Amino acid sequence: MAPNLFGTSAALYLEASQQDVHQEKSTTEKANGQKLLAQKSSTPKSKYEWKIVWRNVIAFIYLHLGSLYGFYLLFNGTKFYTFLWSFMIASMAAVGITAGAHRLWAHRAYKAKWPMRFILMIFQTIAFQNHIYEWVRDHRVHHKFTDTDADPHNAQRGFFFSHMGWLMLRKHPEVVKKGGTVDLNDLEQDPIVVWQRRLYIVLMPLCCFIIPMWVPCYFWDEKPLNSWYTTVLRYTFSLNMTWLVNSAAHIWGMKPYDNTIGPTENKSVAILAFGEGWHNYHHVFPWDYKAAELGNYKMNATTAFIDFFAWLGLAYDMKTVPVEVVMKRAHRTGDGTRYKKPEVIHHHSHEGSKWGWGDTDMQPEEIQDVQIINKSD
Ligand code: ST9
Ligand code: ZN
Ligand code: ZN
């Protein structure tokens, strides 16, 4: 199936037409082994109509136009130090999302002592992608109900929707309904997460906009206008890099570990998103702290960051999956691009999807097969 770059037409999401379009999609997808995904989407739907959130539409238009101007200013007056500073801030924000919100809090792929959790919380606040609790809730729901209506950024609705369109519409009722079944107790027990959620309205503007803009003006006399538009550019760029994991890495790339699911291995996304583009592997083994089969630091900067903090004694109990277990799974359900081509493609059901370590749907052998690095006891 050619990837649907521009999103499915509005009509698809109007109640009356939903059933037909899904059936039509399932016919075209038979040819390339995607039948199962489409069938999953054709289960009876809750009533759903688009409700556009104009505040977000306007904000994203402003951010994207502003970042074009910020890019122009980079070559026309913005100081080099301001660029370097923004690059540093963008890297901190990226790690706050990848090592923090994603691998630590959403998937519990490792544990971190409070100083590391505090640093990651501040970095995650710089990223302004919602507070940790909300980010993790959406992400666990994405893993449990991948590419269905209950997935907040369902990639079946096309590139644009899964990239940023989902942030401009009210959520599908299935997200709220099925999302309510996902356990978030661990987050409610983490005082750093609770504290960030409570103070987010103050912390976020300070960390994402005010301090990053003020530093260049105060320390090297940058013009406020240049500093502001570089900040807008940095934020918009980081958002787009993150969103690529939900869009591009659910459309383009190989599926060596499970050919029956949407997520793919996408090298470009891995480089741009600090090692989060090995997305076929990640959806199969979400509890692996490397979020990839191989610990290649070049295309997985986040793993290097976590290993460094493990060396400092602040990260521990890092879960990973032994190569034999990965191989066995790839033989069984992979597309043959990394390990031998399987003869039969086994159907995969989202009933069995897991959001990460601690999900009660994990099978005893999956728990047993995990290897723990830097174990606490
Ligand atoms: C952003 C997030 O950009 C990006 C996340 C990307 C994730 C990528 C993951 C990939 C891996 C990591 C890669 C990192 C790479 C980094 C590289 C960097 C170089 N379950 O949401 P509301 C219920 S954010 C259960 O308001 P609406 C709940 O009761 C960008 N229940 O829904 C909730 O109430 P409460 C900046 C759920 O009204 C109630 O529904 N931020 C769930 O439909 C209402 O929830 C923005 O743009 C669930 N999952 O509005 C703001 N969800 O919260 C975006 C909801 O009180 N947000 N409920 O418990 C919004 O404006 C709105 O959320 C909305 C939907 C308009 C999108
Ligand atoms: Zn994930
Ligand atoms: Zn995904």
| pLDDT tens-digit map of 60-79 | 999 999 999 999 999 999 99
- Mean pLDDT value of segment 268-294: 95
86 lines ligand 1 (CB under 6 A): no
123 vs 139: CA distance, rounded Å: 18
Contact 286, 355 (CB under 8 A): yes
Would you kindly state where each structural domain of the chain is located, as residue ranges? 50-373
Question: pLDDT band for position 367 (50/70/90)?
Answer: confident
Which of 167, 169, 239 has the most ligand 1 atoms within 8 A of CB, as the residue to mutate?
167
Question: In this structure, which ligand is nearest to the CA of 142?
Answer: 3
- Mean pLDDT value of segment 194-220: 98
Distance 227 CA to ligand 3 centre (A): 34
Contact 75, 62 (CB under 8 A): no
238 lines ligand 1 (CB under 6 A): yes
Distance 309 CA to ligand 1 centre (A): 29
**C-alpha closest to that of 250 among 123, 161, 364:** 161
pLDDT winner (highest mean) among 35-44, 46-55, 350-359: 46-55
> What are the CA-CA distances from residue 18 to residues 21, 24, 165, 174, 291 (Å)?
6, 10, 18, 14, 34
**C-alpha closest to that of 187 among 355, 367, 37, 364:** 355
Distance 12 CA to ligand 1 centre (A): 22
143 lines ligand 1 (CB under 6 A): no
Q: Look at residue 227 and tell me whether its pLDDT is greater than 50.
A: yes
Residues near ligand 3 ion, CB 5 Å cutoff: 263
Pairing of strands 371-373, 111-112: unpaired
Distance 139 CA to ligand 2 centre (A): 6
60 vs 82: CA distance, rounded Å: 23
Give me the pLDDT at residue 376, please. Answer: 80
- Mean pLDDT value of segment 128-148: 98
Residues listed for the chain: 377
Give me the pLDDT at residue 157, please. Answer: 96
Q: Look at residue 18 and tell me whether its pLDDT is greater than 70.
A: no
Q: Look at residue 45 and tell me whether its pLDDT is greater than 70.
A: no
Sequence-distant (6+) residues with CB within 8 A of 14 are 49, 50
Crossing angle of helices 114-126 and 80-95, rounded to 10°: 120
Question: pLDDT band for position 294 (50/70/90)?
Answer: confident
Distance 355 CA to ligand 3 centre (A): 10
Give me the pLDDT at residue 297, please. Answer: 82
